Structure formats: structure tokens, C-alpha cells
Chain A
């Protein structure tokens, strides 16, 4: 890759389709991506379509790393905090890759494709860093590491009606695919497509991995939208993706998790299997646990007028600075102003009153349970 290419804003195979649809485009982590579609009604309408019907997202900027070979499992176990040995073929798990100090390289979804065959789905902004990290930290294992990031157009179909929509386009019986499982099957006439029941919206849904050539990508995208008409499907951008994941308290790299935040602080304990004898970051996490938490991630709801935004300071009732907001927004489905923030544990009790500094004023907020939104689970 030349320097000029590396510096250029990257486009997914669906870029022209988004522009044709009149999407508002923004640069996100070096990618030219749709933030919202006026034709869908904008962020609030897109958000609520996913909560009550179905929405369709281009998430091709996500990266993909495949590990194959006799020691692929050992390699995955070494670089990730969840226990990949528990995965059956066809099953996926939320996990994270950690630095030796127990902080985050990135969060990942680990898919077990076959006997010695794993697919890690990673974030857009950390693609190159993640790939180098995986390659450099798995050299001692007999396994092959390859980047498949440019091979897939990844389309997320999300919402309570997502399964009904995707079912129209595939021969596979999707009722047999549980949440965080996947299968390979037909999609719009294509064969052997990875259909994963995963997502980043706190709803049921699928992420579909289709070939990344522009013509196929556009055809599949349009066929999904067309087939979704009866369910009120709309195209959704990164704006609603962010508010949806925030209501569901799903972490975003660079916000709730980063190279300076550890697993305990982020509250991701249940995805970190300390009973595994070894993985990168484990020793530091043992020490951190013994020392106790210095800060913890809380959910808060504004009690007065004002929206907490990323980076705003959090204060105690007396106005002393105690932490900061990692993500904050108006929550379109809950119709409240909510935020996630890091504060010392003594301020984390549910019902605690704190303040968020908004334009030099402390605005009252209360610590509330998270996730802010939880779907009614049927699968």
C-alpha cells in the first residue's frame, strides 16, 4: 500500500449505493460512511425501526481475521479473554484482545467456523493494529493468520422482524440458529453465505457476510431492502447504530474500552474467563483485581434539561470533578438523555446523585441500572 492510498478515505463496496440513496456521509475511523438516511426519516426513525421492526446497516468497515491450523484454538485462547474452547462449531462469543497490562487492544466476536478454524470480527478503526497484534502474538503457534477484511461486504439486519426478513431470502431454517450462533447457507441465490445471528443494536438480528464486489453487494443490499418492505425495513446509518448500542450498553472502542481502560473497570467480567490458565493480560488483571477498582463504568440518566456528551466532566454533588462521560446522547426509544461514564466506585451505587458539567454548569443526573434498554428475548 502506498502512502497516498493509506491516507485516502476508504469506501465500502456499497458507497455508491448510499450516495444514490441520499445518505448523509461522514468520515468515521478513516471510512466514508452513511451517518443517516433522510429517506429513512433520520436517526430517530432509523433507531425506532430497529426497536420495533427491522433496519439494515452496511458494516463492511468492520475487519475480519481468520486463524486456521492445528493450533488455531491455542492461538485464539492466548490472545483473547473469553474461553474459545467452549465454542461448538457454528457458535460465536463476545470477547476481547488485551495488552499485557489488562487493557484493550480491541473487542471481538470470535466465530468457530470449523474444527481448527476461527474468525475474529474486529473494529474498523483498529483493523491494521489488530491484525499486526494477532500475527505478532501467535507466531509460536502452528496456525495461519489471514486478513479477510476486504473479502466481505458485511450487512447487519437488525430488529424483532430481522429473522422474518432474512428467512425470505435463504433456504436455511433460521429458527434453528440461536442468538450468537451462525450457519452457512443461501442468500438471494448466492451459496454458502455466512449468516450470523449477531449484532450491535441490543436486538435480535443477523450479520450477513457477502462477497465484496460492488455489483453483488449492491444487488444483495437492494434485495434485502425490497424484501423488507412488508416489515417496514429502512436503511440505517452509523448515527442510529451508535444510539442503539448505547441504549444496550454495548461498548465502543475509544469510549468505554481503550488501551488505558481494563476489563474490570469496563464491567466486562463475564466475558473474561480467569479460570483459563493463561492469556495475554491475565497476570495484570489478577493484580488489578487484588488492588480493587479505582473507577467503574456507570449508566446515568439526566434529571434536568441537558444532554451529556462524550468527554464531558462528571462531578459529585458538591461540584468536584470525579470522572468523565464516555458516551452520551438522547436515547430515541427510551426518550431520555442517557450516558455512560467512568467514576470512582463510591459514586456508582444505583440512585446516587451526581452532576454532568454541560457548558460550565453542573446538571443533575442519577445513576441508573444498565443496560438502559433490554429486549424481550424469544431466542
Chain B
């Protein structure tokens, strides 16, 4: 399975991996493949407050701009600044290229997200037409 089962997923193609009250967030393999060569990421600063479902940054490939939506609410504790200078890391391994680390406001929010199996089904339908 290309989508790790310990991650949760959004229909906007973000993943989130929670460990207790902390979580890391990135975009999925499907998202990076759809975008193509990623050349720019715009991420929030440490301390920023994210609200579930709201835009918290953006990622741009050569051909497209895509907003990033927060899979959960919380406070940004860490930002993967390596992606700023080497955004191609997202193409190379999207599920390892985490963008921000959050302190979750309510870990229960993750229950509303897709499981790996559900997400895989969702993208196979989205990509299939």
C-alpha cells in the first residue's frame, strides 16, 4: 500500500500523522504526481495558528499553484525549512517530506479524516475519469 496506514488523509490531498497531541502534515504522493515538478512552497511560521479546513500555505509546481488546507487545527511548532530550498524533496518522497509539525488543538478532529484505504479508493475514482 503506497499510503501509510498510520496517516489520515483529506480530500484535498494532505496527509497527517499524529503522535499523541503532536502531528506532522504533508501532501500525498497523488498530489505531488498531479502537480508535477514542485518548485516552490509557502509555509506558515512557527507559532502560527491553523484552523481545520482553512488554507495554511501553498505549493507550486512549474505549471500550477495549489493551496494547502489544514487537516486539523493547532499551533505550528516546527517548519520543515529544508523544503524551502529543495522543494523537489516533495516529488521524491511526499510521505516523508513533512511540511509542518503541529500541536493539535483537538486530536479528535482526525476521526473525520479518510483512512489510507478510503483515500486510496477516493483517488482511484478521482484519477479514473
How many Å from the CB of B58 to the closest CB on chain A?
Answer: 7
**Which of A38, A242, A330, A332 has a CB less than 8 Å from the CB of B40?**
A330
Assess whether A42 is in contact with B36, with CB atoms less than 8 Å apart. Answer: yes
Assess whether A36 is in contact with B36, with CB atoms less than 8 Å apart. Answer: yes
A interface: dominant SS: mixed
Stretch of A62-70, A222-230, A304-312 that contacts chain B = A304-312
B65, CB-defined interface residue at 8 Å: yes
Assess whether A35 is in contact with B63, with CB atoms less than 8 Å apart. Answer: yes
A-B contacts, 24 of them at CB < 8 A, read A35-B63, A36-B63, A38-B33, A42-B37, A43-B61, A43-B63, A44-B37, A44-B62, A239-B62, A239-B63, A242-B63, A305-B40, A305-B84, A306-B42, A307-B39, A307-B40, A329-B63, A330-B39, A330-B40, A330-B60, A330-B62, A332-B62, A359-B42, A359-B58
Task: Tell which of A38, A43, A332, A337 has the most Cβ of chain B within 10 Å.
Answer: A43
Assess whether B40 is in contact with A43, with CB atoms less than 8 Å apart. Answer: no
Can you name 4 extra interface pairs (CB under 8 A) apart from A36-B36, A43-B36? Answer: A43-B61, A44-B37, A329-B63, A337-B40
How many positions in chain A have a CB within 8 Å of any CB in the partner chain?
19
* Complexed CA–CA distance, A337 and B63 (Å): 12
Residues of B within 8 A of A332 (CB): 37, 62
Assess whether B42 is in contact with A305, with CB atoms less than 8 Å apart. Answer: yes
Residues of B within 8 A of A44 (CB): 37, 39, 62
Residues of B within 8 A of A307 (CB): 39-40, 60, 65
Could you give, for residues 20-43 of chain B, a 1 whenever the CB lies within 8 Å of some chain A CB and a 0 otherwise? 000000000000010011011010
How many positions in chain B have a CB within 8 Å of any CB in the partner chain?
13
* Complexed CA–CA distance, A308 and B38 (Å): 15
A24, CB-defined interface residue at 8 Å: yes
Q: Which 4 A-B pairs have the closest CB atoms?
A: A330-B39, A43-B62, A44-B37, A42-B37
How many Å from the CB of B108 to the closest CB on chain A?
Answer: 31
* Complexed CA–CA distance, A243 and B61 (Å): 12
Closest to B61 in A: A43
**Which of B33, B37, B65 has a CB less than 8 Å from the CB of A43?**
B37
Assess whether B36 is in contact with A24, with CB atoms less than 8 Å apart. Answer: yes
* Complexed CA–CA distance, A359 and B61 (Å): 16
* Complexed CA–CA distance, A332 and B39 (Å): 9
* Complexed CA–CA distance, A309 and B63 (Å): 10
Chain A residues at the B interface, C-beta cutoff of 8 Å:
24, 35-36, 38, 42-44, 239, 242-243, 305-307, 309, 329-330, 332, 337, 359
Assess whether B37 is in contact with A309, with CB atoms less than 8 Å apart. Answer: no
* Complexed CA–CA distance, A242 and B64 (Å): 13
**Which of A24, A38, A243, A306 has a CB less than 8 Å from the CB of B62?**
A243
Residues of A within 8 A of B58 (CB): 359
**Which of A35, A36, A309, A337 has a CB less than 8 Å from the CB of B65?**
A309
How many Å from the CB of B55 to the closest CB on chain A?
Answer: 9
Residues of B within 8 A of A239 (CB): 36, 62-63
* Complexed CA–CA distance, A24 and B40 (Å): 21
Closest to A45 in B: B37
Residues of B within 8 A of A329 (CB): 62-63
* Complexed CA–CA distance, A228 and B63 (Å): 26
Residues of A within 8 A of B65 (CB): 307, 309
Closest to A242 in B: B63
Task: Tell which of B36, B42, B58, B62 has the most Cβ of chain A within 10 Å.
Answer: B62
* Complexed CA–CA distance, A43 and B84 (Å): 20
Residues of A within 8 A of B62 (CB): 43-44, 239, 243, 329-330, 332
Could you give, for residues 48-65 of chain B, a 1 whenever the CB lies within 8 Å of some chain A CB and a 0 otherwise? 000000000010111101
B 75-96 contacts with A by CB, 8 A: 84
* Complexed CA–CA distance, A36 and B40 (Å): 19
Residues of B within 8 A of A24 (CB): 36
* Complexed CA–CA distance, A307 and B66 (Å): 12
* Complexed CA–CA distance, A286 and B80 (Å): 57
Residues of A within 8 A of B84 (CB): 305
* Complexed CA–CA distance, A307 and B65 (Å): 9
How many Å from the CB of A255 to the closest CB on chain B?
Answer: 14
Closest to A335 in B: B39
* Complexed CA–CA distance, A330 and B87 (Å): 13
Closest to B84 in A: A305
